[in-house]
């Protein structure tokens, strides 16, 4: 009996750090793409975890309308991760890595909001949202072009109303986001 | 008495006479003894023990004050450096945040354009 209790306690002790280090909901495992930065003609690598995001939020200028909107939005977020690389030649990036991130978005909770594909420009843009009890807990954008690819992962409670408020300020388009539509599941509309 | 007689009497009375024998010795003995030269020291002997008693604590107090002031200065300098580092990191983070939001909006814009104005033959879309 004592041996069983000791075994259970040992198992709990081993599992505790693993449980404590569980990543927040909506956080994707995005590769660092460190080798690509040298090959790319332009690159954007933003990694803002909860602490850095909080720090960045504090330093936003509330008198600037653009930054004031960002400040409102980022208070509820716990991470923003962006990898964007532009190359001088076609498909210089490892497509498998991008597909690896795409596969994570087929997991439970993630819904595809928009899937756009241009045959002429060979461009794919996918917008995913992680919904939990009707709340948007994460946003992911994967955009790939022959000479450019971008992965965006926003983690945290995304207030769709606030995202709506950003429309037109960063060039964010009017996506027709309405609070009442938050819980709707994505369904394919058409495919040509 | 006439004036001449008086003058003669006075001159006689005041004539120089030799000192009696042993007068000089008696006089010297009668004078008070000279104080020794060593007694004329610059530093009064009474003040020396006080200085000796207080210089060590005074030096220690001065060292303590100096080290407290130096410590305070170093702490202030470190605090200023920490604040400067924090401000720099915060400004960098806010720049990155704005850059991230711009990239996000740019990509959302592409998706939006594709969704709202799909060229008849080239765009495929799913939209909620």
Contact (CB, 8 A) for A66 and A170: yes
Residue-wise pLDDT tens digits, B65-116: 999 999 999 999 999 999 999 999 999 999 999 999 888 888 888 877 777 7
Say what percent of chain A tops pLDDT 70: 71
Q: What pLDDT is attached to residue A164?
A: 59
Q: Which residues pair with A31 in a beta bridge?
A: none
Residue-wise pLDDT tens digits, A138-153: 999 999 888 898 999 9
CB nearest to B104's CB, from A113, A118, A152? A152
Say what percent of chain A tops pLDDT 90: 16
The verdict on a CB contact (< 8 Å) between B105 and A44 is: no
* Rounded CA separation A75/A19 (Å): 25
Radius of gyration of chain B (CA): 55
At B10, list the tokens. Answer: 């006075």
DSSP assignments along B69-100, one per residue: HHHHHHHHHHHHHHHHHHHHHHHHHHHHHHHH
When scoring A86, A172, A174, A191 by the number of chain B Cβ atoms within 10 A, the one with the most, hence best to mutate, is: A172
Residue-wise pLDDT tens digits, A28-80: 888 888 778 888 899 899 999 999 999 999 898 888 888 888 888 888 899 99
Residue-wise pLDDT tens digits, A113-133: 888 887 777 888 888 999 888
* Rounded CA separation B85/B88 (Å): 5
ipTM over 0.85: no
Q: Is B103 exposed, middle or buried (0-12, 13-18, 19+ CB in 10 A)?
A: buried
Q: What pLDDT is attached to residue A168?
A: 58
Shortest alpha-carbon distance between residue B66 and chain A (Å): 37
Cβ neighbours of residue B128 under 8 Å, at least 6 residues apart? A111, A113, A114, A181, A184, A185, A186, A187
Given a cut of 70, is residue B55 above it in pLDDT?
A: yes
Length of chain B: 128
CB nearest to B103's CB, from A120, A152, A173? A152
The verdict on a CB contact (< 8 Å) between A125 and B110 is: yes
Please, what sign has the CA dihedral across residues A65, A69, A72, A74? negative
Backbone torsions φ then ψ of B45, nearest 5 degrees: -60, -25
Radius of gyration of chain A (CA): 20
DSSP assignments along A19-62, one per residue: HHTPPPTT-------HHHHHH-SEEEEEEE-HHHHHHHHHTS-T
CB nearest to A55's CB, from B93, B119, B121? B93
Q: What pLDDT is attached to residue A182?
A: 37
Q: What pLDDT is attached to residue A192?
A: 35
Nearest to A147 by CA among A95, A88, A99: A88
The verdict on a CB contact (< 8 Å) between A114 and B125 is: yes
Q: What pLDDT is attached to residue B42?
A: 65
Residue-wise pLDDT tens digits, B15-45: 888 888 888 889 888 888 876 666 556 666 6
* Rounded CA separation B119/A99 (Å): 26
């Amino acid at each position: 009996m004592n041996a069983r209790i000791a075994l259970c306690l040992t198992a709990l002790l081993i599992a505790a750090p693993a449980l404590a280090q569980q990543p927040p909901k909506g956080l994707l495992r995005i590769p660092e793409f460190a080798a690509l930065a040298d090959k790319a003609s332009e690159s954007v690598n933003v990694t803002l975890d909860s602490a850095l995001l909080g720090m960045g939020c504090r330093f936003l200028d509330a008198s600037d309308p653009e930054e004031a909107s960002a400040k409102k939005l980022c208070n509820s977020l716990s991470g923003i991760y962006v990898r964007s690389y532009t190359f001088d030649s076609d498909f210089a990036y490892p497509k498998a890595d991008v597909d690896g991130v795409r596969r994570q978005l087929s997991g439970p909770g993630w819904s595809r909001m928009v899937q756009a594909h241009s045959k002429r420009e060979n461009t794919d843009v996918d917008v995913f949202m992680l919904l939990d009890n009707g709340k948007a807990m994460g946003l992911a954008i994967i955009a790939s072009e022959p000479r450019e690819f971008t992965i965006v992962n926003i983690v945290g409670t995304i207030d769709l109303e606030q995202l709506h408020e950003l429309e037109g300020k960063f060039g964010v388009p009017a996506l027709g986001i309405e609070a009442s539509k938050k819980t709707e599941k994505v369904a394919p509309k058409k495919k040509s | 008495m006439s004036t001449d007689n008086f003058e003669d009497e006075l001159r006689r009375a005041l004539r120089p006479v030799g000192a009696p024998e042993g007068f000089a010795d008696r006089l010297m003995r009668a004078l008070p003894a000279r104080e020794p030269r060593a007694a004329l020291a610059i530093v009064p002997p009474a003040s020396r023990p006080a200085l000796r008693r207080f210089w060590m604590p005074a030096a220690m107090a001065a060292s303590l004050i100096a080290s407290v002031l130096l410590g305070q200065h170093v702490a202030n300098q470190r605090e200023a450096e920490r604040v400067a580092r924090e401000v720099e990191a915060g400004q960098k983070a806010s720049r990155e945040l704005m850059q991230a939001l711009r990239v996000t909006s740019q990509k959302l814009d592409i998706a939006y354009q594709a969704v709202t104005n799909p060229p008849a033959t080239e765009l495929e879309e799913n939209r909620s």
